[in-house]
Structure 1
């Protein structure tokens, strides 16, 4: 069966769905091709179900503070983990249904093609028994959890990832988290708070992709109070009766299951891009214009998690819109890379914005350090552990970035991202209003320290 359209979008995640919205403004000759389950990564396995689990675990963990407030009996509250995860799945399904209701549910069988596409040429793909010819293609196939093939073969159902965790009806009593990036830290802490014995391992020496050693040390101290953390050694795993033995350096633990958080890899292999002679980078990602998202001179665009960058829903949606526009217009729009920002929704939050500590020229950078211990709002909440480090240029006082671990730092991260994006100076930031008592007062104190460091040239 031959199908001829103006644009074919491959992948029904946030990037693909936003690309379709843009394409539909220009033409009704389009198709959306999707292999596997519908519903975006965010709704099915990513940010939404994980945040439900995190919120649930945080709510249960709050019982530990009851005695401080004169409330007795909190230690006797019991949790039914199976029922708790059923709640996670129920909300996950709601999120998925909401996505589908406004997108693919409204598409006809001719518009939504079920199956995995492979390129026959730069103008055609095969999907099962059908061949789709298009004037332009948008690749928005997303990414999946990295699982070493040898581990998958040797350990089988003993391995869990975010792709499979939320479908588990019974959770283990013990688990080793391999990889302590954002996903490993978030899920590891949540599972620990649900009463599972969790041990975290990472071959790196920093937690959650932090590069500032002092912030990483503070994060290990806080998160490590809830689960043992072992950094700096490659974990070695062997199956034993009832589960696995994990060794790293001098550490050794026996657990029922492994949770792998080794990163995400783009879903590109099934596309057979090698048939097009597309140049690939060292990670196997097609080389493309980072602004127009086009692969060389081919009428093919790469958007969202498929391009191998750090997963971010807002970025994926914007790239989908850019790709959709460029696939239907002669004069391209350009994707502008905004100030980097990453937020890990552990408690306390971990975040980094703008230039990282490892990227700074230390000789020309002022660094302010502010703990959350004396911050009034943090004391009220009983969550006053953590550290904020803010970076500014000595030459002109411009804010460069920050790394932090602390209560509700998601808000400080946003303020810092806006400040860096607008090239705000320390003095300009201090001219902004601050309230009391709020967590943002930690940022105000850090800015005051930066002003003192930078000197009178920038104090006027």
Structure 2
């Protein structure tokens, strides 16, 4: 794989050792390809370091505090709640490091010579130049360089008081108060977590709908849920400037004003890491943002021996999508020039607020819809968390196409629904299955029945309405 002049050769070179890159290298090697995995740090995946796992660790602490505060509704009166911010943040880092170690240990299991610690840039469609002066000649190349948080101009000069999801978990203690810029998944999850941990949080967003929720009723449920723990300033523009012992945020909108915060979390997106790749030398067609155009079914860029995967392609920045894309890209790169389209899985995203918000599949105009209200649902009411709603979308024959929900147990209900969509099931198919009582799953029945009625179908005889309202 190398010669005395320092030139490396392989079948598939993968740039980036995150979730997509790891999957791409493994898939290519499984096809018998000689592979190289190139990364300057091999620090582990975004998910383990600064994404999914540390955010869920912070949320776990926030849920614990929230459960104690709401215990009196059950007649239980805990006294002396004290949140040790330093201990909260230390546990986040300790457990985060556990997940990171597991990822890094996987690199040690790669075949000798596979991992190349360097930065790579294109020298041609089949050629990469490394920072150490070596060159790689590959039959095919996979770009899996991931993404980085966007820091707009007003926030760049604020120093350590301006946080992103890659720096917030390094805080030694919980902030005194916090401004959050951006109402997407990162902003919402971390804002609510900090709010429940006793931090005074204000969230700002240009949009008036949080989390890009598609359905107005579901969007309102999400807004109500987050608004209990966080002050919301929606439909406004913001600017930032350094202030004594903090950051001054000025906002314009229906209630223009300004306030000083100890820290500001900037969560306005994560553009792909493509700078420095010298994409012009790869001969690829680019979109208006400088991202290579690619086929979603093959992950191939045009007709070139180059493939995209994960956050680098700016398509669907979710871990399970990055893993799937890496596997598709790696397998096709190994078999190039034979490229096989792969059927992509049903779109599926979850924002882990409480209650969580999920968006599944399609919500086409004119689709049959069925709604379920959880504000008086039996199991939810028993647990003192009766709120939220779901809407299901189906074709004229009742086949489920998608769903939007913000309910108790969303992350679990959403899995059931996305599996149903993926398997082409109808609302009638689901109603024909057993439902245990009392469960959150029973709460889906009104939505399923509504779709059956609109599709002109009669519900199964064994699915009567014997349970009283709210049960």
Alignment deviations for residues 367-399 of structure 1 (CA, whole Å, 9 cap, x no partner): 322221221111122111112122223x32222
Does the 8 A contact of 1:319 with 1:335 survive in 2? Answer: no
CA drift of 1:458 comes to 8.9
Alignment deviations for residues 207-260 of structure 1 (CA, whole Å, 9 cap, x no partner): 111021121112111210111112112223233222222224215332111101
Residue 222 (structure 1) aligns with: 225
Which 5+ residue runs of structure 2 have no aligned equivalent?
Answer: 1-5, 462-471
Does the 8 A contact of 1:343 with 1:352 survive in 2? Answer: yes
Alignment deviations for residues 281-306 of structure 1 (CA, whole Å, 9 cap, x no partner): 12321011221111122211111111
My pick for the range that moved more, 4-13 or 24-33, is 24-33
Does the 8 A contact of 1:201 with 1:248 survive in 2? Answer: no
Q: Which residue, 144, 151, 170 being the options, matches 1:140?
A: 144
TM-score (norm 2): 0.91
Does the 8 A contact of 1:370 with 1:388 survive in 2? Answer: yes
Residue 467 (structure 2) aligns with: none
Equivalence map 1:382-421=2 (5 Å): 382-393=384-395, 395-421=396-422
2:124 maps to 1:121: yes
SS at match of 2:104: helix
Q: Which residue, 283, 286, 310 being the options, matches 1:280?
A: 286
Distance 1:26 1:455, change over 3 A: closer
Residue 91 (structure 2) aligns with: 87
Aligned equivalents of 1:87 and 1:237: distance in 2? 31
2:381 maps to 1:375: no
Which 5+ residue runs of structure 1 have no aligned equivalent?
Answer: none
Aligned equivalents of 1:428 and 1:321: distance in 2? 32
Equivalence map 1:23-422=2 (5 Å): 23-27=28-32, 29-74=34-79, 76-101=80-105, 103-107=106-110, 110-129=113-132, 130-148=134-152, 150-246=153-249, 247-249=251-253, 250-252=255-257, 253-330=259-336, 331-356=338-363, 360-361=364-365, 364-393=366-395, 395-422=396-423
SS at match of 1:4: strand
Aligned equivalents of 2:327 and 2:393: distance in 1? 33
Q: CA RMSD in A?
A: 2.0
2:452 maps to 1:451: yes
Does the 8 A contact of 2:307 with 2:333 survive in 1? Answer: yes
Aligned equivalents of 2:410 and 2:125: distance in 1? 46
My pick for the range that moved more, 415-424 or 23-32, is 23-32
